[in-house]
Amino acid sequence: MDFKFSQEQEKLREEVRDFLEEELRQGSFEPSCDAWIMGHSPEFTRKVAQRGWIGLNWPKEYGGQGRSYIDRLILTEEMLRYGAPAACHWFADRQIGRSLVAFGTEEQRRELLPSIVRGEAYVGLGLSEPEAGSDLASLQTRAIEDGDDFIIDGQKVWTSGAQSVNYIYLAVRTDPEVPKHKGISEFIVETNLPGITIRPLTDITGGQHFNEVFFDSARVPKKCLIGEKDRGWYQIVSQLDYERSGMERLMGNYPLLKALIDFTKETKRNGKPLSQEALIRHKLAQLEIELEVGRLLIYRVALVMDEGRVPNWEAAMAKTYGTTFEQCLASTAIEILGLYGQLLGGSKLVPIQGMASQSYLASQGYSLQGGTSEILKNIIALRKLELPSA
Ligand SMILES: Cc1cc2nc3c(=O)[nH]c(=O)nc-3n(C[C@H](O)[C@H](O)[C@H](O)COP(=O)(O)OP(=O)(O)OC[C@H]3O[C@@H](n4cnc5c(N)ncnc54)[C@H](O)[C@@H]3O)c2cc1C
């Protein structure tokens, strides 16, 4: 086992840090928690694209750089460390592009991948429905063939960023007569088509980042079908491993950790900086241990992918661990900040811009989105421990 990064990888990390430092100096963004999913900045995405950092590990023939998953992980780790607003391109870069490379037609790859790489095409994920979350295969949104098109009817829910994207990657039922896993297909659909309505939902933080998406006889050309009709389930399963495997499951709230450590150095209680209190030092040290363990779990997933293997239980383990860490980080921050830590941003009295309370609320959803911790533990029990199916 070799824990060292190559010289080229160290160089990439330095380049990304220099870029982000410069952007901070120019005031192009403020570090914020959850910026990978909430920070929609087309301008920032364009700048990232100009450096060739979208589709970093996709084949060169489609505009990518042909680099490794570890390289992409280094890039995304730094974006998260700086709380950079990368939401416009994150989903397409993380999983949709790879799915198109694996299952898309040549026409779809030639048309869509370069526009994602240029930072122009943003894609949301239309999987969950009101009655289909963990048991995704029971989804009911229907697509019926009609000449050169499919007609889509139904509803998706919790679709992150749908109000800001120009495409939705959609899982729908194309054959209701066969067992549920066998009649699903995937489409990539433009969000401005007639018959598609996007309605934002207010989440626990008061923000509106996810949506209901309604399909009312939306006519979608057949060329938007991804891969084989009725084989979508097998494509979705591999896509979910990409979705669960990234550093955003551990470091989405890194700006909070950094601000918390600074706060303890700068704030005195009873004449002494908080950072000199044994209890507080130990809490912060414990977080650091857990962060490091989480990083290793996630780097292992990238290594597995670079070796061409499917990181199924590895991704499940990394996400379960990472999201538990983020919830623990938010609780620890609230404990250290005391009652003022519970105030939301906007109040004069709130410490560290209200990041603690915002993260405390937002992190409740982390162990739901992208597969709940219970479902992920079922995967670990089945595939890693080889326990019989329940
Ligand atoms: C912030 C956020 C963003 C999201 N973004 C998107 C998005 O962009 N696109 C998208 O398609 N979806 C998105 N989702 C939806 C997410 O994928 C679902 O919430 C998740 O899959 C769980 O489905 P559900 O909410 O229907 O809960 P359910 O499946 O109804 O589960 C309810 C509870 O029962 C437990 N449970 C269910 N089945 C089992 C089982 N077999 N064994 C043990 N326990 C079980 C679950 O763990 C959970 O605690 C998002 C969710 C959140 C919170």
pLDDT tens-place string over residues 283-321: 999 999 999 999 999 999 999 999 999 899 999 999 999
**Average pLDDT of span 199-228:** 96
Protein residue with its CA nearest to atom 37 in ligand 1:
134
Ligand 1 mean position, distance from CA 356 (Å): 24
Pocket test for ligand 1, best of 122, 134, 244, 253 (most atoms within 8 A of CB): 134
Ligand 1 mean position, distance from CA 320 (Å): 13
Q: How many helices (H) and strands (E) does the chain have?
A: 14, 10
Task: Using the Cα atoms of residue 26, residue 27, residue 32 and residue 38 in order, give the sign of their dihedral.
Answer: negative
The token pair that represents 266 in the structure block: 């700068």
Residue 1: the pLDDT is 62
Protein residue with its CA nearest to atom 27 in ligand 1:
133
Residue 3: the pLDDT is 79
Residue 390: the pLDDT is 82
Above 70 in pLDDT, residue 72?
yes
CA dist 247 and 36 (Å) reads 10
Residue 182: the pLDDT is 95
Pocket test for ligand 1, best of 99, 127, 128 (most atoms within 8 A of CB): 128
Protein residue with its CA nearest to atom 51 in ligand 1:
369
- When pLDDT is cut at 50, 70 and 90, the band that residue 242 belongs to is confident
- The model's pTM: 0.95
Instruction: Give the H or E element holding residue 126.
Output: strand 123-126
- DSSP secondary structure of 223-264: GGEESSTTBHHHHHHHHHHHHHSSTHHHHTTHHHHHHHHHHH
Ligand 1 mean position, distance from CA 158 (Å): 9
Closest by CA to 322, choosing from 348, 341, 295, is 295
